[in-house]
Amino acid sequence: MSRPVVVVSDPLPEATLAELRPHCELRLVDGRDRADLLASVADAVALIVRSGTQVDHEVLAQAPALKIVARAGVGLDNVDVTYARSAGVTVVNAPDSNTVSVAEFTVGLVIASLRHICAAAQHVSEGEWRRSAFMGGELAGRTLGILGLGRVGRQVARRLTAFEMHVIAYDPHVSAAEAAEVGAELVTFDTLLTTSDVLTIHLPKSPATTGLLGESELARVKPSLCLVNTARGGIVDENALAAALKDGRIACAALDVFAEEPPRASPLLHLPNVLATPHLGAGTDSAQLRAGRSAVHSVLRVLETAGV
């Protein structure tokens, strides 16, 4: 009897692939290569992805035997979940797998931004030593605004209250009591915009959140604002943000995510007050192992239930 085909189209740790191998024909492909992806899913029962693969209508329509799409991570914005479910395909993610890694990375970006660590390191590597060029600011006493107080937002709040920041948050699905548990004060969206010294974004990308921070929202922030985005590109309008950074209406931004990745044409690239990283929030061994294992276990459960 032929073994069920499982396609893995983004890198996963070898230890997680080893758990799958005995149970299936494992097909490793590059999800960014559309032709290869479309050909590979034609007889697949399961597809495991991270953020590099677009699981859209075309991919799903090409995979009539598909039973599950497992996201080895959190964001499902690269999966057409509505169409998948209407076609009887289970869609799962790995909600807690990378929370701590993203929160720690966010803290790193906040400190690096306020203390100009990356620019200063570059400066020294070029043989320079102008200490006065990198005067920074303390976190202590500054107001941290968190947009989206879910798993990552709460872990960021816990960590940055320890740095003596005053933490405020906007999240319509969270109560004041839940926010208080992690040291955050719930405020309105407008208060978040107008009073944050550092504003960090931790919500999913969806039609409702795309462009949530556009020209008019960015016009209301403090000119000294440091904006941090480890959630998804496109939640902030890149053209509006680039214009504000160029005009000094926003002091700086630290961005791990872009509307298009890699961000070949982003107006935010090469600005001196932008610290850009290549979608590294979940880039730790532990997070990748947890996310990969979670996706693999979901696939194995579905294969077992379906008896394939």
Ligand X SMILES: O=C(O)CCC(=O)C(=O)O
Ligand Y SMILES: NC(=O)C1=CN([C@@H]2O[C@H](COP(=O)(O)OP(=O)(O)OC[C@H]3O[C@@H](n4cnc5c(N)ncnc54)[C@H](O)[C@@H]3O)[C@@H](O)[C@H]2O)C=CC1
List active site positions. 232, 261, 279
CB of 38 to ligand X, least distance (A): 21
* Distance in angstroms (rounded) separating the CA atoms of residues 103 and 160: 10
120: phi then psi, degrees, rounded to nearest 5 = -65, -40
Q: Give the one entry of ligand Y, ligand X, none that residue 293 binds, where binding means its C-beta sits below a cut-off of 5 to 8 angstroms depending on kind.
A: none
* Distance in angstroms (rounded) separating the CA atoms of residues 302 and 308: 9
Regarding beta strands 143-147 and 90-92, do their DSSP bridges make them parallel or antiparallel, or are they unpaired? unpaired
Instruction: Give the number of other Cβ atoms within 10 Å of residue 197's Cβ.
Output: 20
**In the set 9, 16, 40, 51, which binds ligand X (CB under 6 A)?**
51
Cβ-based nearer residue to ligand X, 72 or 251: 72
Site residues for ligand Y, 160-179, by CB under 6 A, read 170-174
Q: Give the one entry of ligand X, ligand Y, none that residue 151 binds, where binding means its C-beta sits below a cut-off of 5 to 8 angstroms depending on kind.
A: ligand Y
Using CB under 6 A, which of the segments 73-81, 184-192, 210-218, 296-304 binds ligand X? 73-81
* Distance in angstroms (rounded) separating the CA atoms of residues 5 and 302: 13
- Asked if 292 touches ligand X (CB under 6 A), the answer is no
**In the set 84, 147, 199, 228, which binds ligand Y (CB under 6 A)?**
147
> Rounded to 5 degrees, what angle do the CA atoms 27, 32, 34 make?
80
Cβ-based nearer residue to ligand X, 98 or 113: 98
Cβ-based nearer residue to ligand Y, 146 or 303: 146
Cβ-based nearer residue to ligand X, 94 or 218: 94
Q: Give the one entry of ligand Y, ligand X, none that residue 173 binds, where binding means its C-beta sits below a cut-off of 5 to 8 angstroms depending on kind.
A: ligand Y
Using CB under 6 A, which of the segments 22-30, 59-67, 68-76, 263-271 binds ligand X? 68-76
- Asked if 274 touches ligand X (CB under 6 A), the answer is no
CA-based nearest residue to 252, from 137, 157, 158: 137
**In the set 9, 98, 155, 294, which binds ligand X (CB under 6 A)?**
98
Cβ-based nearer residue to ligand X, 53 or 196: 53
- Asked if 98 touches ligand Y (CB under 6 A), the answer is yes
**In the set 92, 281, 302, 303, which binds ligand Y (CB under 6 A)?**
281
- Asked if 255 touches ligand X (CB under 6 A), the answer is no
Using CB under 6 A, which of the segments 94-102, 112-120, 265-273, 294-302 binds ligand Y? 94-102
CA-based nearest residue to 50, from 308, 214, 280: 280
Q: Give the one entry of ligand Y, ligand X, none that residue 241 binds, where binding means its C-beta sits below a cut-off of 5 to 8 angstroms depending on kind.
A: none
Q: Which residues bind ligand Y (CB under 6 A)?
A: 73-75, 98-99, 102, 147-153, 170-174, 202-205, 208-209, 212, 230-232, 256-257, 279, 281-282
Interface residues with ligand X (CB under 6 A)? 50-51, 73-75, 98, 279, 282
